[in-house]
Amino acid sequence: MPSGAQSPQLPNTLTFSVGTIPVFGDLILSPMEGFSDMPFRSICREQGSAMSYTEFINALDVIQGNPRVLKKLTFLTAERPVVFQIFDNEPARLLEAALRLQEFGPDIIDVNMGCSVRRVSGRGAGAGLLRTPVKVARIFRTLYRELEVPLSAKIRLGWDEESRNYCLIARIIEENGGALIAVHGRTKEQGYGGQADWDAIGEIKQAVSIPVIGNGDVRTVADIERLKTHTACDGIMIGRAAVGNPWIFARRDREQVPPGEVQEMVSRHLARMLDFYGEERGLILFRKHAKRYLSVYPLSSEQRYRFLTTESPTELAQMLDLIVP
């Protein structure tokens, strides 16, 4: 580790439990499509993320044997507890997919009830499930009876401002076997716009006895403490703010991280991407991370273009030496 780098102190005391699964720590990387793969999850875990959620997995892909699913299911032992997140709008398909996924050894299976993109929510999956509380009850009751691992959910506050049924949904999840609820403090219609409603997260925490994870508008270390104090939630889930700043899980804001440590992290992250995906695909997929890692530095348009289009990991490393002071 370079001079000036700080080795994160990972928690060794129990923070909360998901059924029988102990969780040590109160900060968690959010499941994000295209970001929460094994290389990035492992980086965040080393910095202090207490659980590892996979990218969301289509139940149909699991049932039909789509080979792309296997990459999403790959995890390191050091990442545990590991959560496989699945989505669909039909209880029978969710059960079949969950039973198959259980064979890959997750600690927890999570039902996605928060995805707001049209191709998911528009067919009644993801946040679309919030419109059908009776179906939510059937899904959780069915999965709880059949699965051997704890069951959790990630939800939003409702479909829109006229249907903010979050407390009802939270109670249904708990009453039908759910062991943890993660809450993004926005409705489906809000997407990622507007302001997250932390009061609503606090209401859910008061309404149920299972652990509640708060999510939304956490960008700095100060935001972590404000959300915990405001809601009394058991943990904080961090998504977009962690891209380019995995140090937030060590409770360090980006401006606290010296350039040498940034350089070491970028190199390590790139190496894991190349190893996991192969050189060509790994480099392409790493570009979105590189853009965020380097967003704080004054790059010329030419430097930015070269950095984000190079097809050579060696050239990228050489440019990194020039960009990071």
- Mean per-residue pLDDT for 96-118? 96
pTM over 0.85: yes
Q: Is the pLDDT of residue 303 over 90?
A: no
- Mean per-residue pLDDT for 282-309? 86
Q: What is the DSSP string of 100-129?
A: HHHTT--SEEEEEE----HHHHTTT-GGGG
- Mean per-residue pLDDT for 211-237? 98
Strands 16-18 and 21-23 come out as: antiparallel
Which architecture characterizes domain 16-250 according to CATH?
A: Alpha-Beta Barrel (3.20)
Q: Which residue has the higher pLDDT, 7 or 1?
A: 7
Kindly indicate the confidence band of residue 7, based on its pLDDT and cuts at 50, 70 and 90: low
What are the residue ranges spanned by the domains of the chain?
A: 16-250, 258-323
> C-alpha dihedral over 132, 134, 140, 145, to 10 degrees?
-150
Q: What is the CATH number of domain 258-323?
A: 1.10.1200
167 catalytic residue (yes or no): no
pLDDT at 210: 98
> C-alpha dihedral over 70, 73, 79, 84, to 10 degrees?
180
Q: Three-state DSSP class for 76?
A: coil
**Token reading at 95:** 């059960």
**Token reading at 80:** 């545990």
Helix axes 301-309, 279-293, angle to 10 degrees: 150
The span from the CA of 185 to the CA of 134, in Å, is: 22
pLDDT at 1: 39
Q: Which of 44, 115, 167, 233 is catalytic?
A: 115
For the stretch 126-159, pLDDT in tens is 999 999 999 999 999 999 999 999 999 999 999 9
Are residues 26 and 221 in contact, defined by beta-carbon separation less than 8 angstroms?
no
Could you check whether 16-250 and 258-323 share the same CATH topology?
A: no
Candidates 258, 247, 316, 253; CA nearest to 283 is 316
Query: What DSSP state is assigned to residue 13?
Result: S
